[in-house]
Amino acid sequence: MYKSCCKYLYMVKNFFIIFLFSIIIAQPIKARDFIGFGIHSGLQYDVGNLGAMNNIDYIGQHSAIAGISIKIDSTPFFFRAGADRSIMIAKGKVLNSSAGKLQELKIEYTSIPTYAGLNFKIRERGKFYIGFGDVYIVGSGKIKTTDREENINKNVFGLGILTGIQLRVGINTKVYAEWEYISAKTEPVVNISTGNSYKDFSIDFTGHRIHFGFSYYIL
């Protein structure tokens, strides 16, 4: 009796180990679609939004974006948070005195956006999503005027709108492309008007961003 019980327990134990081992090595059949981590790169044109200034002749600052994201999908809703770092490719230049004393712009920032919105499943191939949220921006950079070059460190909250599309390329992997619009502007940080000493130029992070990335769903 004792012997047969031990044999039974031994079989159960072996079966349990084999079962666990099988789960570990097996490829999941059902695609994971709940929590995904993403890494992306992107572009922003006219960082500092000089184009919004009146009658200005300028070359806009162009920046690359490197970022990470976490997206939680609970059909039909999604929540997306992340962090993006802008890396200057070409500095912004004012071509004449059309912007007072302002001459050059070299702005870099880290943005921490959080978005929520709706997911729209495109059959089993991917998702389209639209959301809104807020963005915290930690900005830094140099602003060169005719009489000085000032280092700037400013943080600001802004609002954002996000839309994107995800395409499934593996059971747990997706590629994505996103368009992001952020509206955020600091208080004045430097003086650019002639004949006055007050600060009257703000760093404007407002603009459009495009992201292309890859995400891996862990759950």
Partner 1 sequence: MRNRLIILLIVIFLTAPSYILAGIEYSTGIYFGFMPSMGGNLQSYVQRNSLGAENGIEDINRTSDSSDTEKIDRLIGATGGIEFRGIFRDYYLIKLGLNFTKDIYGGEGKTLDLTGDTVEVKYSMFVYDIPVTVGLSIPFWKDVRISLTGGIAYARGTYKNSFKSSTLNSSAKFNNWAVPVVIILCGEHFIDNNLSLMTSINYYKGASEVKKSNSDYARNDFSGFRWNAGVLMYFR
What are the Cα distances from residue 43, in Å, to 24, 46, 170, 198?
A: 40, 10, 26, 33
> CB-side exposure of 167: number of CA atoms within 13 Å?
7
Asked if residue 127 lies in contact with residue 165, where contact means CB atoms within 8 angstroms, the answer is yes
Answer for which of 114, 202, 210, 214 binds partner 1 (CB under 8 A) is 202
Return the range that interacts with partner 1 (CB under 8 A); candidates 1-9, 21-29, 83-91, 182-190.
Answer: 182-190
Answer for which of 131, 139, 164, 213 binds partner 1 (CB under 8 A) is 131
22 binding partner 1? (CB under 8 A): no
57 binding partner 1? (CB under 8 A): no
CB of 1 to partner 1, least distance (A): 59
- How many whole angstroms separate alpha carbon 19 and alpha carbon 94? 68
Residue type at position 26: A
76 binding partner 1? (CB under 8 A): yes
CB of 17 to partner 1, least distance (A): 42
194 binding partner 1? (CB under 8 A): no
C-alpha torsion 13→15→21→25, nearest 10:
-170
Return the range that interacts with partner 1 (CB under 8 A); candidates 9-17, 59-67, 127-135, 211-219.
Answer: 127-135
CB atoms within 10 A of CB 213: 21
Tokens of 60: 């806009």
Asked if residue 87 lies in contact with residue 106, where contact means CB atoms within 8 angstroms, the answer is no
167 binding partner 1? (CB under 8 A): no
What residues from 87 to 106 belong to the interface with partner 1 (CB under 8 A)? none
Burial class (CB in 10 A: 0-12, 13-18, 19+), 82: buried
169 binding partner 1? (CB under 8 A): no
55 binding partner 1? (CB under 8 A): yes
172 binding partner 1? (CB under 8 A): no
Our CB check for partner 1 shows the closer of 2 and 198 to be: 198
> CB-side exposure of 26: number of CA atoms within 13 Å?
9
User: What are the residues binding partner 1 (CB under 8 A)?
Assistant: 52-55, 75-76, 117-123, 128-132, 159, 161, 163, 181, 183, 185, 187-188, 193, 196-200, 202, 204, 206
